[in-house]
Amino acid sequence: MRVSPTSISINANKGDILRILVENRGRNKNYEVVYDSKGLNVNGTGLRSGTNVTLDRITLQNWVQCGINLTKEAIDSLSTNFLEKSQNSSPKSEEGSENRSPKDKAVSQPGVYVGEFTANEIQDTFFDSTGWGKGQLFINGYNLGHYWPLFGPQVDDYLACKMLKF
């Protein structure tokens, strides 16, 4: 649990919607008394006691908390929207680099990332998250679970050939 305030800079315009995604990895049951709140929570308002979210030094209010439904349809929708946006983006040339589209460039920010590969033979395989950050892995609508190689315990996720498309 992070108790200290965290600041980030964002670009926002009047009327924009701010969404804050908070991950819940379960409860800590190692101690008899634990303050183990999840997300931003205080008095039912969505913020922990004594904290707030501000934008240009104005406290934001009227928070709505909701879960994210990780169904196949929801993930497919996110993936489709991401692919449409990345395919419609025009490639930008940077001095000293080849002309590549945004979907081909490495990224280090949160988001939904989609990739494809072709194999000569469909067989059981593994997803190796070495060098990656933290995330949730979906293969053709199957939720394989989370990966976080820095903390493990597993770095390679098993993919049964039935999860792969022919």
Domain spanning 72-90+111-163 has what CATH number?
Answer: 2.60.120.260
Give CA–CA dist 112/86, Å, rounded: 11
When pLDDT is cut at 50, 70 and 90, the band that residue 97 belongs to is: very low
Please, which contacts does 144-147 make with residues 24 or more away whose CB atoms are closer than 8 Å?
Answer: 146/25
- Which range scores top for mean pLDDT: 22-26, 37-41, 95-99? 22-26
pTM over 0.75: no
The owner of tokens 């926002």 is: 12
* C-alpha pair distances (Å), 128 with each of 107, 144, 156: 17, 13, 4
H/E segment holding residue 64: none
pLDDT grade for 44, boundaries at 50, 70 and 90: very low
Q: Where exactly are the structural domains of the chain?
A: 13-67, 72-90+111-163
Mean residue pLDDT across the chain: 68
